[in-house]
Amino acid sequence: MRLTDFKVLTFDCYGTLIDWESGILAALRPLLGKLGGKIDDEAALVAFARHESALEKAQPGLNYRKILAECYRGLAKEWNASITEAEAEKFGNSVPDWPAFPDSAAALSYLKQQYKLVILSNVDRASFAESNKKLGVTFDAICTAEDIGSYKPDRRNFDFALKTVQEKLGTAPKDILHTAQSLFHDHQMAKAIGLATNWIDRRMGKAGSGATSPVEGVNTDFHFPSMAAFVEAHRKS
C-alpha cells in the first residue's frame, strides 16, 4: 500500500489539523485557575475526554457548542468549583479560538494538488467555518456532526461521509485514505468498515491519550508524527 494509491483524503479536523488540546486548555484556564494548581494539564485533558465522549454518546443530536458548555459544567461539578453560565457558554463558543497546528495550512495546500479533501468532524458548521479560515484551503466536501446528528465513533458518521464522497466526488471507498489523530474517534471505526487509515500522531512521544478516550488494539496503515511528515513522505513516494 502506497500513499499515491488514493484519490480522496477524509480528514478529522480537531486534534489533526487544529490544535484542540492547546485550545481546550486555554479555554479551561479560568476554571483551572480556581483550583489553585490541583489539576494539571494532562489530568484536565483526560477529564475533558471522559465528559465529552459520554455527552456525545448520550446526546448525539446536541450541537457541539452545547456539548462543550456541558463539559465545562460537568468538570466544574467534578472539581467542586463554582462557575457562571457565562463562563460555561464562553467555553462552548471557544472553538474559533483554537489554533491550527503550524504545519496544517502548508500541508493542505500541497495535498490539495494531489487529492480531493473532505472533512469529517465532530463539530457544528459555524465553528468549523471559523476554524477553516486558519487552514487556508477549500475542502471538496464538509461533513459535520451537526449535519449527521451523531458523533464519531458512531458508524453513522462514516457512512454519511462515504455516501457524500461517492455522490459528490464519484469516489469508491477503496480510493479513500482516512487521515486523523484520534484512535478512539476515528481509526477504530474506519478500520472496522474497511477504510485505509493514516494516523497523524500529534501526541507521539507523550504518555496517555490526552483529550481523546483511550483505546487499544487499533492498527493503522500509515503513521506520521505530523502533517509535515506526511507531506514529506508523499513527496518521496
| Cα–Cα distance for residue pair 164/154, rounded to 1 Å | 16
User: To 10 degrees, what angle do helices 20-33 and 64-78 make?
Assistant: 40
203 close to 22: Cβ distance less than 8 angstroms: no
| Cα–Cα distance for residue pair 141/174, rounded to 1 Å | 18
What cell numbers appear for 207 in the block?
A: 504518555
Instruction: State the catalytic residue, choosing from 12, 19, 154, 186.
Output: 12
Is residue 93 classed exposed, middle or buried when 0-12, 13-18 and 19+ CB atoms within 10 A define those classes? middle
CA torsion 29→33→34→36, rounded to 10°? 150
| Cα–Cα distance for residue pair 208/171, rounded to 1 Å | 36
Classify strands 196-200 and 176-180 as parallel, antiparallel or unpaired: parallel
The radius of gyration computed from the CA coordinates of the chain, to the nearest angstrom, equals 17
The sign of the CA dihedral 136, 138, 143, 147 is positive
Q: Examine the residue annotation and report whether 12 is marked as an active-site residue of this protein.
A: yes
What cell numbers appear for 75 in the block?
A: 468538570
- 3-class SS of residue 8: strand
Active site residue ranges: 12
